[in-house]
Structure 1
Amino acid sequence: MNVLQVSMRDLIGERFNGYRLHLSLRERGHDARMLVLYREGHDPSVQGHPRWVGPLERGLYAAERISSLQGLLSPIALTFPMRDGFRRADLVHWHLVYPHYISVPLMPFLAGRRPTVWTIHDPWPTTGHCVHPSECERWRTGCGKCPDLKRNFTVWMDTTALLWKAKRAAFRRMAVTLVAPSRWIASRAEASPLIAHWPCHVIPPGLDLGTWCLLDRADCRGRLGIPPEARAIAFRMPSGQKQQVSKGIPWLKEALRRLGTERPIHLIVFEEKGHLAEFEGRFRIHELGWLTEVPRMAEAYTAADLFLMPSVAENAPTMALEAMACGTPVIASDTTGMPEMVRAPVAGLVVPLGDAEALAQATQRLLDDDGRRAAMGAEARRIVEAEHGYDRYVDRHLALYESVLARTAGTR
């Protein structure tokens, strides 16, 4: 089977953007290819675009933002049929392709040329402009009168009703098969007037259980300089105020201020550095930066007693799953796809979105209860082993590809 994975990038976000899936297909003997807007690695089976396409894409992104015609202007997808990977493909699988890699008006053009599978990593296909509408319900009726134009992807003028109608016009003229990483996003697709007519299959994310394995917790803590009597909390610190709000950092900081300090607490921070100066002296802070090496990430997750994810919205959060694979319980917001992943109160806890006091109390309870925390961590690992092994993840995709090809045989 020849499958073309399409995404914005290959290496950045490779855990969920199709690149790992692409490699697994090749390992199983399939003649697979990948097409990306920005090629960061040197894998010859991954095709990029000429150098001039990058500046064009960035210029179009700015133009779409200023004109508020988000996702409508890019012509880049017109070049796809000329690419060797597309011409040879039996089936094309889209991942992170919007809003300006494959523009909305050109989606029917591509989907009409090859059987197409589309993994929806967020609700953008169901809305006028935003990636996560949160509490807004206007996506059900056509958007317009948008309450938050600055929410990703930002538009300057309220063209959200126009953008919603543009998606409806395009999506009515195309047939794709959706992959939903969570039941939550699948239910959102089924409720959407824009994409409810497409078949949708839930395929939870997968992890290589040989790489994401249980490590010796004392050894991992020792490597980071965390003493046995201390407690350790891990979380992600994204860049930029908008991203930090979307990941719940303001509530997380407020919860940290409310934690007791009877015993030492260490903070293990992924990604951005320099945002926790106010806590120096109160906690010991380990800022790890952007880690790409899985062994180091697994070591950090294992060293933590808890992983906190108080995000506004997540579909199937990869970092929560990785922490669970390392036997670390997760505390997350009670919204979108997070409760489904955490399985509260089995492998962690969920708290009301934006409730810093509830987050602080849940964190304190688990930090003070070694037995409950250990039981949750063991159950978290069991869930990952039972439902999120990477071989099973690849098997599910191959079965879906075969069913799509069988269904579309002779129709193109």
Structure 2
Amino acid sequence: MKVTHVNTFDITGGASRATYRLHQALCRLGVDSKLVTLDRQSADPTVVQAPSTRAESSLRRAVFEYLQARRTNVSDCIFTVAHPGVDISALPEVADADIVNLHWVGQFLGPQSVGALLDQGKRLVWRLSDQWSFTGGCHYATGCTGYERDCSDCPQLAASERALPKAVFADRRRNYADRSMHIVSPSRWLAGCARRSALYHDKDIRVIPNGIDADSFSRVPGARKMLGLREDSFVLLFVAVQFDRRKGFVEMAESAARCLLDPAMAALAGEGRLELLCIGSERYSPPDSSLPFRFLGATSDNLVLRAAYSAADVFIIPSLEENFPSTVLEAMCCATPVIGFDSGGIPDIIAHGATGLVTPTGDVEALAQAILTLQRDPARRRAMGETGLARVRSEFSSENQTRRYLDLYAEILEQPALATQGARPSARPPAAYAALLSGARPLVREESAQSLAGTLERVFRHRARGEFAPAHGILDDMLARGFEVVEALRTKGGLYAAQGRFDDALACFNMCLAKRPGSPDLLANVSDALRMAGRFDEALAVLDDIERAEPGFSGLALKRARIRAAVVAAG
């Protein structure tokens, strides 16, 4: 059986991590599984980057920026239209696949991209990460039910753009609404939304919860020391790639502020023994700067993430809209109890009163009381954590998820093969698409083949494919021409570090520092290379130098955590 998964990213973000875990689990069972992605960050040879030109990438960015500038205040969650989408139907990994399993493909596959796969007669499974595949562009509808009809009068876009979601929805309907597809939702909530949608109401819709390997994503001994946290602190953890309003950061912060009205919690805070640890975007400003937040920044480093979950007394997930958050599974794998709102798929995972507490969505007082309840009862926290770990092993294991997908794939393969229809007659693109591109094109950044951004993009593409020789060749040409020498040397140092040539990497960074003495960004590169080389004390010392020179430099806490994590991993 040949299975090809398709996801915009391979390891960045919760949806990508869930996709990659399923792909890895299938590979471990001997399935010929591949992952096609638009933005490859891993070095996994089973991950394939779809071809995309510099001009196409620039236009995608411009379309995204154009739409974000025309959003209403109804939602700040992303709104994406994959036009022009990428046609992956001719890729060997796709053409040869028995099953094509789509996942999160925003800004990657448009309706016509999906239609092209169906034209080939591909057996198509689509695992839903959010509502995007059956809406006119929103990833979360924020209470709107327009997707049950035709997505006209979209409340998330300005009135001048209201024709676009309806046109996207109609394009989806034309390309795949009446064709054979199998829809998988990790949560009961999202499955219910899909069944009510105008596009999927007559489709085969299954619920298969995401899984996780509790043995590989496990508790880390000495996690607090690794993260620089006091052993006697009470630590709350919040994790989100982006702090959209739907993620509930504001509600979490307000609940924390209410907790400080409790004398015991106020005493902890006064003694420096209360920590609100946050992993994700550092762009967000806490509504109350007096709260003891510690922002580590964004990371996809599994060891750092495991350390954060292990260090926490309680993991908080106050999302107002959510599908099936991988973060809850990750916390439970580390035997950490979870408190969350009763939204989306959160109550599918948390067994209220056994593995954590579920409170009414948006009720900040109830969330505060739940935090106080567990803060006062360490024994209950420990019991909930152990029960949560047992629940992951019994109900949300990687093995369970993989078996369910293999059963689904086998069932689909037993059905008669779909007829290859060939390309459908070309239809005139909706006028709203033309208007979108017309508005976005002025935002395209001019990047000639000789521009810095354009040149480095070519380097990074080679690096993503593990092609170091041509990547170095491009940089050597830049150096020979005297073009952006510092950036060329800096990028070359990054390539050397990725190759394990740490002395060469450090030599490049030091040459950069000779031209830009004391640059904190370059010193951070030096620290990273020292960490990768196993020279941990030197790496920490460089970070100390940066902090003395520029105390507000972003990401220092995360870099220190990664060094401590590397120390633990090195034994």
Task: Give me the TM-score of the superposition, normalised by structure 1.
Answer: 0.87
The alpha-carbon deviation at position 359 of structure 1 amounts to 1.6
Match for 1:176 among 156, 181, 185?
A: 181
Query: Does the residue aligned with 1:362 lie in a helix, a strand or coil?
Result: helix
Residue number among 94, 108, 117 corresponding to 2:102 in the alignment: 94
Q: Residue in 1 aligned with 2:17?
A: 16
- CA displacement at 1:87 relative to structure 2: 2.0
Counterpart Cα distance in 2 of 1:354 and 1:377: 24
Corresponding position: 1:197 with 2:206: no
| CA displacement at 1:224 relative to structure 2 | 3.4
What is the SS of the residue equivalent to 1:16? helix
Please list, as runs of the form range in 1=range in 2, the aligned pairs for 1:339-358 lying within 5 A after superposition.
Answer: 339-358=347-366
Corresponding residue for 1:5? 5
- Farther-moved stretch of structure 1 (221-230 vs 297-306): 221-230
One-letter amino acid of the counterpart of residue 272, structure 1: S
Q: Deviations over 1:89-117 (max 9, x none)?
A: 1111111113x422113422212321111
Superposed counterparts of 1:208-357, under 5 Å:
208-216=213-221, 219-236=222-239, 238-239=241-242, 243-260=243-260, 261-263=266-268, 264-273=273-282, 275=284, 283=292, 285-357=293-365
Q: Which amino acid aligns with 1:306?
A: V
Q: Is 1:81 matched up with 2:89? A: yes
Q: Partner letter of residue 223 of structure 1?
A: M
Give the number of equivalent residue pairs.
Answer: 400
Structure 1 stretch displaced more, 125-134 or 49-58:
49-58
Higher mean C-alpha deviation, range 130-139 or range 250-259? 130-139
8 Å CA contact 1:7, 1:35 repeated in 2: yes
1:71 aligns with 2:81: yes
Taking a change above 3 Å as real, the CA distance of residues 221 and 111 of structure 1, as seen in their structure-2 partners, is: same
Contact persistence 2:132–2:139 (CA under 8 A) = yes
Max radius of gyration: which structure? 2
Query: Which whole-Å deviations, capped at 9, do the CAs of 1:67-101 have from their partners, x for residues lacking one?
Result: 99963631521xx2321112211111111113x42
Q: 2:117 is matched with which residue?
A: 110
Residue 143 (str. 1) matches residue 151 (str. 2): yes
- Bigger drift between 28-37 and 393-402 goes to 28-37
CA distance in 1, matches of 2:418, 2:163: 43
Shift of 1:198: 1.4
1:32 aligns with 2:41: no
Q: Per-residue CA shift, 1:234-268, capped at 9, x if unaligned?
A: 002554xxx43121111111112111312231122
When structure 1 is superposed on structure 2, of 181-190 and 131-140 the one drifting more is 131-140
Query: Deviation digits for residues 25-79 of structure 1, max 9, x if unmatched?
Result: 33333333222112233333322214434234334545777899963631521xx
Distance of aligned partners of 1:304 and 1:62 in 2 relative to their CA distance in 1, 3 Å threshold: closer
Distance 1:63 1:265, change over 3 A: closer
Q: Which has the higher helix share?
A: 2
Percent of pairs identical after alignment? 28
The answer (yes or no) to whether the contact 1:108–1:174 under 8 Å persists in 2 is no
Tell me which amino acid in the other structure corresponds to 2:223: C
Post-superposition Cα deviations, 1:269-322, rounded to whole Å, max 9, x if no partner, equal: 112337467766653x44322232222211211111111111121100011111
8 Å CA contact 2:70, 2:157 repeated in 1: no
Which stretch has the larger CA shift, 174-183 or 346-355?
346-355
User: Conserved in 2, the CA contact under 8 Å of 1:108 and 1:173?
Assistant: no
Q: Distance in 2 between matches of 1:142 and 1:172?
A: 12
- Consecutive unaligned residues of structure 2, counting only runs of 5 or more, are 72-78, 261-265, 421-571
Deviations 1:115-158 (A, max 9, x none): 111111111223233211132233223332333327xxx99435
Q: Is 1:70–1:163's contact at 8 Å kept on the other side of the alignment?
A: no
Aligned 8 A contact 1:66 1:156 in 2:
no
In structure 2, what is the Cα distance between the partners aligned to 1:314 and 1:344?
17
Aligned-residue Cα RMSD (Å) equals 2.8
Moved more, 360-369 or 115-124: 360-369
Q: Please, which moves more after superposition, 123-132 or 190-199?
A: 123-132
Residues 355 and 387, structure 2, Cα contact 8 Å, conserved in 1: yes
| Structure 1: runs of 5+ lacking an equivalent | none
Deviation per CA, 1:203-244: give whole Å up to 9, x if none: 11111111122444xx323433444442110002554xxx43
Q: Take 1:191 and 1:27, find their aligned partners in 2: how far apart are those partners?
A: 36
TM-score where L is the length of structure 2 = 0.64
Structure 1 segments, 4+ long, off by >4 Å, are: 59-70, 274-282
**Secondary structure at the counterpart of residue 331 of structure 1:** strand
Q: Against the structure 1 CA distance between its residues 227 and 37, is the aligned structure 2 distance closer, same or farther, given a 3 Å change threshold? A: closer
